[in-house]
Structure formats: structure tokens, C-alpha cells
Amino acid sequence: MELKGQLAVVTGAGRGIGAAISRRLAGMGATVVLAARDMAQLHAVRQEIESTGGTAEARQLDLMNEQSVAKLAADIENRHRRCDILVNNAAIGNSGKPLHEMPPADWDSLMATNLRGPYLMIRAFAPLMVRAGSGHIINISSLAGHNPLPGGAAYSASKWGLNGLTYSVAEELRPHNIRVSVVAPGSVNTHFGGGGSGKNPDKKIQPDDVAHVVAMLVTQAPQSFVSEVLLRPTQKP
């Protein structure tokens, strides 16, 4: 129960990596605010957490809507007066077509979710952490933010951007004792992007593997922090 008394906000918490992270943090004693658009999925995760003795709240969130993010932050400040952990996990992929065939509307939607969304969340929740003089912000990126990804140029660009955002915000918030980290997994066994890669799902990284890394980051000794974790499967799928 290392996180007892702490509050964590997780975006994209209705399934996959976000749900796994939420279960793990709740199991460590945190109150977890599950944030996503699909309330049915959130309620299912909340019930799962509560059935094992954890505490969770389900909150609808549209990362593409600045007012939706601001409302979530205001509600949490009024209700809890704190945010100890922020996990920016929500993301969308693209179609696999070459960039020159990608409609501008799809580009805008992807960037709004994968890059502008984390910016809005940090902008909304960092002040609570600054006031407390502590906190963790963890951005879930991808190995696509380090490597070329033919057919996924927009997604790759958003994750390269998220990495750069993370490194820079970490320097901005260090004086306030806020630790900002990025986790960059390879292929994870989820339904993200349709899930049909043809790879062996048993050899892929599992959502709980990512959750394990997040748990490690938020329980680091106070005099240090991990800037980035690159997470790969033991065997190539």
C-alpha cells in the first residue's frame, strides 16, 4: 500500500494499458480517477477495482476538448484538493497508409489526442503538484517515438513530439520536486490499432508489463527519478 492516500489520474483508462495501470495503482492504495470517453468501459474497470478492495472514480473526458480537461481538473481539485500521479496514456493510431494519403482531419485528430492532450492535462494538473511540492507525471509513448514507422508517420511524429515534451517539462518541473518520465513500449498485446499485426500475442509486451514499470516509477527513492524506460519483449513476436 505504498500509494495509500495518494490520488492518481489515468487517461485512456477504459481498456488495455490504461486499465492495467489503473488496476495496479489502485492495488497499491491510490485512489484512481479513470478518465476516457467511453463511460461503460470505465464503469467496468471501476467495478473490477472495487471488487478487489480498491478505490476508483469514473470520469468522462474528451482530450480534444480543452473545456473537458479543465472541468476534470476543477472537479478533482474541489473534491480531492490534490493530484499526486498523472498518467497520460490515451492515444490513437493511424490507418497504416503513407503520410501523403492521410487526410488533414485525421492528422489533426491524432495530434490533438496524442500530443495536445498530454499538454492540456499537464497544464491543468501540474499547478496542483507545484502547490504540493511533489508529484509524478508519466507519459506513455512508444518505440515508434525513436524509430521510423512506415505507414505510421503521423503516429511516430506524435510520439517523437511527446518524448521531447517530456524531457523539457521534466526540467521545468524539477525545481518543484515533480518527476516527469516517459515509458516507451514496443508492440503491446491490446486492441490498439485493431490489434491485428500478425505477431504472436503471447510474445508481445503485456499491459501489466507497462503497469509494472509505472509502479516502479512512482515508488522511486525521492532523491532520483527515471527519465525514460524503453520496454521491449524478451523474444521478438
User: Which residues are identified as catalytic?
Assistant: 155
Residue entry with cell 505477431: 199
Cβ atoms of 16 and 43 within 8 Å: the answer is no
- Whole-angstrom CA distances from 56 to 24, 72, 126, 151 are 12, 15, 21, 37
Amino acid at 222: P
d(CA 194, CA 44): 21
- For 27, left (φ over 0), alpha (ψ -120 to 50), or beta? alpha
Which cell goes with 88?
A: 497520460
CA 111-65-47 angle, to 5 degrees, is 100
Question: How many C-beta neighbours within 10 Å does residue 1 have?
Answer: 8
The number of helix segments (H) and strand segments (E) in the chain equals 7, 7
Q: Which residue type is seen at 209? A: D
